[in-house]
Amino acid sequence: MKVLVTAGPTREHLDPVRFLSNRSSGRMGYALAEAARDRGHDVVLVSGPVALPPPEGVEVVDVVSALDMLAAVSARLPWCDTLIMCAAVADWRPASCSAVKLKKRAMEAQLTLVPNPDILAELAPKKAGRLFIGFAAETHDLLAEAQGKLARKGLDLIVANDVTQPGAGFETATNIVTLVAPDAPPQPLPLMSKRAVADRILAWAEAKAASLPPRTPDPASRDL
Ligand code: CTP
């Protein structure tokens, strides 16, 4: 398979030294990229700013903001047959970004934000038989939230995790996830390493891809 993985947070800058972001470490996305590589797939990893070494044998595209990530993923979508959106994309960005450091005296007490595009929703019209896999990191109503996102974003699979559970979520080497697909009962997995979770997700994708009719590659994919 040709697997496009996103990982890490995005940063939404107010000025060259300040940004809005989130707690994503990139570990789950990097584990997915490494697992896909080791299972013999071609992998492109679009990564937000993280403190992890680039995986060998994987093309890494570094991005900063959600708009950068949208551009990088859109450009590579024609190449891939499986998109795994593991990145924690910031939903909002400052309405403007100053080219120079804002001085305290000149700053307002409130930030004006504008919504970022939803990358999965933007790409849904170009899905064309590809597998789209998303993540839902939640603190409450895990299955209802995940099932809502699965339907709204037109996904084949959503990987739901309750980030309040010890050993799950951000900045850990382990995760506790439930695989939620439209056509099957939710499949809860026990606490396991992020690498083992990645292998379970890829095994699901391989089985799903094998059950689908072969996809005609996009003409644009020849250019990549
Ligand atoms: N996602 C995306 N573009 C965004 C935000 C999220 O493609 N702007 C993707 C994430 O990579 C993930 C899935 O959508 O695979 C769910 O992300 P999440 O942040 O949980 O969903 P939201 O729709 O932002 O919902 P909310 O923040 O209200 O929980």
Would residue 103 count as lying in a domain?
Answer: no
Range of the domain at 13: 2-97+109-216
Torsion on CA atoms 46, 82, 119, 176, rounded to nearest 10: -80
Q: Residue 223 above 50 pLDDT?
A: no
116 is catalytic: no
User: Which atom in ligand 1 lies closest to the alpha carbon of residue 88?
Assistant: 11
Would residue 160 count as lying in a domain?
Answer: yes
Would residue 224 count as lying in a domain?
Answer: no
Would residue 171 count as lying in a domain?
Answer: yes
For the domain that residue 28 is a member of, what is the CATH number?
Answer: 3.40.50.10300
Q: Where do the H-state alpha helices sit in the chain?
A: 27-38, 66-76, 119-123, 142-152, 194-211
Q: pLDDT digit string (tens) for 110-148?
A: 999 999 999 999 999 999 999 999 999 999 999 999 999
Q: Residue 217 above 80 pLDDT?
A: no
Q: How far is ligand 1, taken at its centre, from the CA of residue 88, in Å? A: 7
Q: What percent of the chain has pLDDT over 70?
A: 96
Note the residue count of the chain.
224
Pocket test for ligand 1, best of 10, 73, 91 (most atoms within 8 A of CB): 91
Would residue 189 count as lying in a domain?
Answer: yes
* Cα 176 from Cα 166, distance rounded (Å): 9
Q: Give pTM, 2 decimals.
A: 0.95
- The overall average pLDDT reported for the chain is 94
Q: Residue 220 above 70 pLDDT?
A: no
User: Which atom in ligand 1 lies closest to the alpha carbon of residue 135?
Assistant: 15
Q: How far is ligand 1, taken at its centre, from the CA of residue 53, in Å? A: 25
Handedness of CA 118, 86, 176, 81 (dihedral sign): positive
Q: How many structural domains comprise the chain?
A: 1
